[in-house]
Structure 1
Amino acid sequence: MTTRRDLIKLSAIAAAAAAFPPLAWASKPGPVAKADKPLNILILGGTGFTGPFQVDYALKRGHKITLFNRGKRPSPEWPGEVEQLHGDRNTGDLKSLAGRKWDVCIDNPTSLPFWVRDAGQVLKGNVDHYLFISTISVYADGSKPGINEDAPLAQYKGKDAMAETQENLRADIENLYGPLKALSEAEAHKQFGKNVTIVRPGYIVGPRDETDRFTYWPHRIAQGGEMLVPGDGQDPVQIIDGRDLGEWMIRLAEAKTYGVFNAVGPKDLLPMDTMLRESEKVVGGKPTYTHVTPEFLEEQKVGEELPIWVPRQAGPYAGYGQVSNARAIAAGLTYRPYAVTVADLMTWFRSQPADRQAKLRAGITREREAELLKAWHARKA
């Protein structure tokens, strides 16, 4: 039940959001050229984060789109006709796909190998090209910079990968997510042969990002005041706008580009301080940045509460800010300006209901930040 105090708080948040200055750089979508050859594309999922960007771009390119999902999420307004098929991959209900043919299948949501196996059994011989969204978490060693697509993959240590469920995955995501994605990649090749494209993103950001992992930073910057920043400001950050990822996948389908690609960005190195100051140019806020050491954060038991950031010097994920994207760029991956990503993300976020903006799903609270800053200054005194 919403109390009077809640209503006052939400009203204050809405008023504060309205008080933010207009964002610089906000983008206006331009015309999209038609593809040379229209494709019949099946998208498994399609209503989550990146799927709608794929659908929107594909329709504008002149392709025919079919979505397959459980129908649990409302579909956005599409700029064209979209066929909707329903089923449930958890229960093996793929009847609506049987006997149909498509040029391309894009598999967005799969984290379990049996989902790929079941899709392959229904679609085998009826799909010419299979594109699978994986993750850089498939790599066995994330501690070293320069990880490329040929690096060894994480090994599954359970009893039966095909018996794993979403419940198991949620219960032990740190140990299961990467290995099960790696096995899903292997199953894709088993089911669809050489006509497979594996795309491995890292952090996906931009409008529609419900995780708030990246949103925390420009949102906090816009609030101003003294702001805690982890590390020395030189730790590299890798993110990719969901629109850049989604649109590139459609172009991979058009070109029949097969292989494995790290879909990370931006194109060039993005140190933490650069990320913050470039965000400040868009959202304003004029905070003062106080850098604290990784050792201090470890002592204060601050782990993933500060999202996106990983220290570059040491740790099991130290290489995650420096994954090689050379192969993807050579295959046509492009990036819109960082400022546009930030502006469009914050425009979207500030359009959300006040209660959605009230509590970010990632990052530390202002109260926790104040405690940490007080402890840091006391130590330095």
Structure 2
Amino acid sequence: MKLTRRGVIQAAAALGAAQALGCASTPKAGPGPGSVSEEPKSKPLSILILGGTRFLGPALVEAAKTRGHTLTLFNRGKTNPGLFPDVEKLQGDRDPTKGEGLKALEGRKWDVVIDTSGYFPRIVKASADLLAPNVGQYVFISSVSAYKEMTKPNLTETDAVATIEATAPEEITETSYGAFKALCEQAAEAAFPGRALNIRPGYIVGPYDGSDRFTYWPLRVAKGGEMLAPGDGEDPVQFVDARDLAAFIILNAERRTMGLFNVTGPAKPIKMRPLLEGIREATGSDARFTWVDTAFLEKQQPNPLAEIPIWTARTGAEGGLGSVSIARALQAGLTTRPLADTVRDTLAWFHALPPERQEKQRAGLKAEREQELLAAWKQAKGTAKAG
């Protein structure tokens, strides 16, 4: 998505520094689709979140608090330390070889641990092994990038995953990200046999998404005028609002659901054309979409495909990542909010950021680049007609 593996990888690598900018306040879980407020409440759970102060983590905290659960956050205390003053916080490092490591978790008991910050199997194994005797369930947040065959449509949880040597250098690269996530899933399951819930999200979007990948589209459409739209409008697109993902995770922690789930959306499949049209309707803009052929884009230098987020051509090397099967997740209670809600909430969040942050969008085509590509496309079409 561009879960090119590259897109998700680069975003993952950037999370440590960039994700939390502008997050001085707490994201709300919100009512409606994605909320578990209508589900009969389970007994209160004690939940440990490894991470918890960036993007998905705060959404999980809000969803859990709404349901009456008790939270503990374990992290280094460096990102948004002022969030959730009423929630217990433990400091340490996921890497047991650094500082106090996992010492703050020793001897403590929780019903559930949710791992939002595991990228390497050694790190996940360390926390899972330590917590296994005293925790009932391990929830690991993986990625659809774990799949081996990115071209295959309708990928299901039974499809093969990417592989890498467990001893490979702990570096997030284009080829290692998904494979390491798959090994992390296996580490969680090994420590918690039959007690692990592995979640494979696609693009996680919505307010507080510091990557700007989804945010680019509402911002660009809201700006109006002629804009470049990639492909022919028929490429499927998938993403999940962080609040809907969080609600699904908390719901299935309450239900003690185990196993593996692809968790993306929307619940009703959407393609690129209706996505952009839906954003236009939600923003009330006068944007006009000029659909630019994928083959043409692939020939441009530098390659603009790496600059266009969320979308991937259905015939491309990662075309299957726009149509991953979420049938199991839907059966397990996944609901997704209307596109318009995510668009409006995302724009409201972004426009509340400091002006200097708003001026530095982290994804999408720059205005000058977009105009260059549109001009080249029109010239190519004219030449083709004349010929």
TM-score, with length taken from structure 1: 0.87
Spell out, residue by residue over 1:6-63, the C-alpha distance to the aligned partner (whole angstroms, 9 max, x if none).
xxxxxxxxxxxxxxxxxxxxx9647946723000111100111111011111112111
Unmatched 5+ residue regions in structure 1? Answer: 1-26
Q: Distance in 1 between matches of 2:114 and 2:276?
A: 34
Within the candidate set 103, 110, 125, 2:111 is matched to 103
Q: What residue number does 2:234 align with?
A: 234
Within the candidate set 128, 135, 141, 1:133 is matched to 141
Contact 1:221–1:284 at 8 Å: present in 2 too?
no
1:136-151 alignment to 2 at 5 Å?
A: 136-151=144-159
Q: Distance in 2 between matches of 1:310 and 1:138?
A: 17
Secondary structure of 2:64's partner? helix
1:179 aligns with 2:179: yes
Residue 231 of structure 1: how far off its partner (Å): 0.5
Q: Distance in 1 between matches of 2:357 and 2:367?
A: 17
Contact 2:142–2:181 at 8 Å: present in 1 too?
yes
Spell out, residue by residue over 1:217-262, the C-alpha distance to the aligned partner (whole angstroms, 9 max, x if none).
1100111111011100111110100000011111111000001000
Query: Counterpart of 1:370 in structure 2: which amino acid?
Result: Q
Secondary structure of 2:112's partner? strand
Spell out, residue by residue over 1:176-232, the C-alpha distance to the aligned partner (whole angstroms, 9 max, x if none).
101110111111111111101000001000000000111111100111111011100
Q: What residue number does 1:65 align with?
A: 71
Within the candidate set 48, 53, 63, 1:47 is matched to 53
Within the candidate set 87, 90, 100, 2:92 is matched to 87
Q: Distance in 2 between matches of 1:54 and 1:108?
A: 10
Q: How many aligned residue pairs are there?
A: 345
Query: Counterpart of 2:154 in structure 1: which amino acid?
Result: G
Secondary structure of 1:310's partner? coil
Query: Counterpart of 2:156 in structure 1: which amino acid?
Result: N
Q: Distance in 1 between matches of 2:257 and 2:133?
A: 19
Contact 1:185–1:198 at 8 Å: present in 2 too?
yes
1:1-381 alignment to 2 at 5 Å?
A: 29=31, 32=37, 35-75=41-81, 77-78=83-84, 81-92=86-97, 93-156=101-164, 158=165, 160-161=167-168, 164-165=169-170, 168-169=171-172, 173-300=173-300, 301-312=303-314, 314-381=315-382
Q: Distance in 1 between matches of 2:233 and 2:190?
A: 44
Q: Distance in 1 between matches of 2:264 and 2:30?
A: 24
CA RMSD of aligned residues (A): 1.6
Residue 91 of structure 1: how far off its partner (Å): 4.3
Query: Counterpart of 2:167 in structure 1: which amino acid?
Result: D
Q: 4+ runs of 1 displaced by more than 2 Å?
A: 27-36, 75-78
Secondary structure of 1:361's partner? coil
Residue 122 of structure 1: how far off its partner (Å): 1.6
Q: Distance in 1 between matches of 2:60 and 2:277?
A: 30
Residue 285 of structure 1: how far off its partner (Å): 2.2
Q: Distance in 2 between matches of 1:28 and 1:328?
A: 20
Query: Counterpart of 2:231 in structure 1: which amino acid?
Result: G
Contact 1:231–1:292 at 8 Å: present in 2 too?
yes
Q: Distance in 1 between matches of 2:134 and 2:76?
A: 21
Secondary structure of 1:304's partner? helix
Secondary structure of 1:47's partner? coil
Secondary structure of 1:41's partner? strand
Secondary structure of 1:303's partner? helix
| Structure-2 change in CA distance of 1:200 and 1:159 (3 Å) | closer
Secondary structure of 2:353's partner? coil
Query: Counterpart of 1:316 in structure 2: which amino acid?
Result: A
